[in-house]
Every structure is written in C-alpha cells, then in structure tokens.
C-alpha cells in the first residue's frame, strides 16, 4: 500500500482549516504510518493573474512557508521524510515564474485549475460552468506543455475537467488520451485524487461526519473525479500512477484507508489492477 503523499495544503491558501498547523499534518501522517510527504500548497503568483480571494498563499509568505517545512523536516527526520513543494498551474508567459518556484522546492504538482479562453480571459474550471470543447483542448494542451517544459513532478487530478460535466463523451475521451499520451511520453505520474471523494462523503457542512463506510458509498454518485471513464483510458497507457490526498482539513489524513476503499468502489478491480502504481 502507498505510504507517501505529495499533495497537501496549509492554512496559507485561505481555504484550508485556519487552525490546522503544519506540525499537526506531520503528526497525523506519522500516526498513519506514512514514510514520506511533500507539502504542496497552492503556489503564490508573482504576476497575480488569479484574482480570486482565499485561493493561494501571498507571494511574501513563501519564505515562512518553506522555513516551516524545513524545520519540521529536521525535527522529525528520524520518523518521516518531508519535502517542500507547491501546487502550480501552467499559463503561457508564466514559464520563468514557475521555474523560480521549481528551483526553490523539492516537488511541484501541476493542478490545472484554469485556462485562457479565446478572448484571453481566465476561465476557471467548474466556475460557474464547464469548459467548452475548445477550452477542454486548451486544458490538455497546457498540461502537455508543462510536461514538455519539465515543470511538474506529478499531474494532480488530471480529470478535474470533469467538474460540471454530466457525461464522459467524445471530447472528454480525446482530452484523456491527449493527457495520458503526454504523461507516457514525458514519464510524469498522474494522480488519482481523493479530495472530491472526501468532500462528498465524510466532510459536509464544514465538519466530519461519522457515518459508516457503507453509507458513504451511497454518496459516491455525487463524485465527479476520479472519473472512471478517464482512468479506463489511462490503463491503456504505460504511465505511472499515484494516489493524492489533496488535504485541506483536519481528519482527512486519518481517513486514508477508507478513502482508498471508496476510490476502489468508483474505479473497480478491472481498472486498478491495470494501472501502474509507483512506490516512491
């Protein structure tokens, strides 16, 4: 079973638990037997393209964030390996800024939350509507370009584009093939993201419920990703796969085993047995 996680956030992004300290994350991972983690909070933007509030740390918080992680790495060196990192998005023109973030950390995960539309405006995935066909292709193009440039170590939730989608149709299939083909070409792992499962089952009204897992399984119809259609295509490719918790809230880490079971419920043996999970 995977004993590492490279996708987690901190209070600095503004939409994670504000009273959840960096050290508490580490202690929960140790309790669950994890051997290695990376903090990958939503990256600061030097150019400030994403104007939304409470979505990412401020640029001047970088040093404090990195220092906190490095201090924890030293403090718990005999119990768990800890790396620095960010979750980033690729946009044309942002290459130098992304390179700067990569140079100052151990890991970057690419979580492509937006694209430019045909008018040059930022189109946020799932807010308020889904991407049109051209924007879906742009989404795949940006992910492929980021891989070509050597920016990400992992592609987080590659099936995020299924937000607000009612079906996995021809264009969605094409996007999946484009992403998986690029991941195979550039040897970049894809992440099965567990956060949407967490938020649609155990976490509601800003707190954890204590319903048994059989009750949680009844809620999985509301989960948009991981998308079975995407991962059914992914198994056809020679690509690496990891699970990602994408932690924002207390209690999420402690539900690791249950969330894996729920992901299995969505994807099934036929897909999971064919995916090439890695152990680093």
> What would the 3-class secondary structure string for 45-61 be?
CCCCCCCCCCCCCCHHH
Range of the domain at 149: 4-277
**122 confidence band (pLDDT: 50, 70, 90):** very high
Would the pLDDT of 129 be above 90?
A: no
Would the pLDDT of 23 be above 90?
A: yes
**How much is the average pLDDT of 153-170?**
96
Read off the pLDDT of residues 206-264 as tens digits, 9 standing for 90 and up. 999 999 999 999 999 999 999 999 999 999 999 999 999 999 999 999 999 999 999 99
Domain count, the chain: 1
**CATH classification at residue 90:** 3.20.20.140
């Amino acid at each position: 079973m995977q004993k590492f996680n490279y996708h987690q956030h901190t209070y600095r992004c503004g939409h994670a638990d504000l009273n959840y300290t960096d050290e508490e994350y580490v202690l929960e991972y140790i309790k669950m037997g994890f051997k290695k983690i990376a903090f990958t909070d939503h990256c600061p933007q030097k150019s400030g393209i994403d104007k939304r509030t409470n979505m990412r740390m401020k640029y001047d918080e970088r040093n404090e964030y990195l220092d906190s992680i490095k201090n924890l790495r030293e403090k718990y060196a005999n119990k768990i390996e800890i790396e620095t990192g960010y979750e980033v998005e690729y946009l044309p023109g942002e290459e130098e800024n992304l390179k700067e973030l990569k140079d100052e950390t151990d890991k970057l995960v690419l979580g492509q939350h937006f694209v430019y539309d045909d008018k040059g405006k930022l189109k946020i995935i799932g807010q308020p509507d889904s991407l049109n066909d051209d924007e879906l292709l742009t989404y795949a193009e940006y992910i492929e370009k980021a891989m070509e440039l050597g920016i990400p170590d992992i592609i987080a939730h590659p099936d995020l584009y299924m937000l607000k989608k009612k079906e996995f149709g021809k264009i969605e299939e094409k996007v999946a093939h484009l992403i998986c083909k690029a991941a195979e070409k550039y040897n970049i792992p894809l992440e099965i993201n567990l956060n949407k499962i967490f938020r649609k089952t155990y976490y509601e009204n800003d707190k954890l419920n204590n319903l048994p897992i059989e009750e949680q399984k009844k809620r999985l119809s509301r989960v948009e990703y991981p998308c079975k259609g995407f991962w059914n295509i992914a198994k056809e490719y020679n690509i690496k796969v990891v699970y990602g918790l994408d932690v924002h809230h207390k209690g999420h880490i402690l539900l690791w085993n249950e969330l894996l079971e729920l992901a299995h419920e969505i994807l099934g043996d036929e897909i999971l047995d064919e995916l090439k999970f890695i152990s680093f």
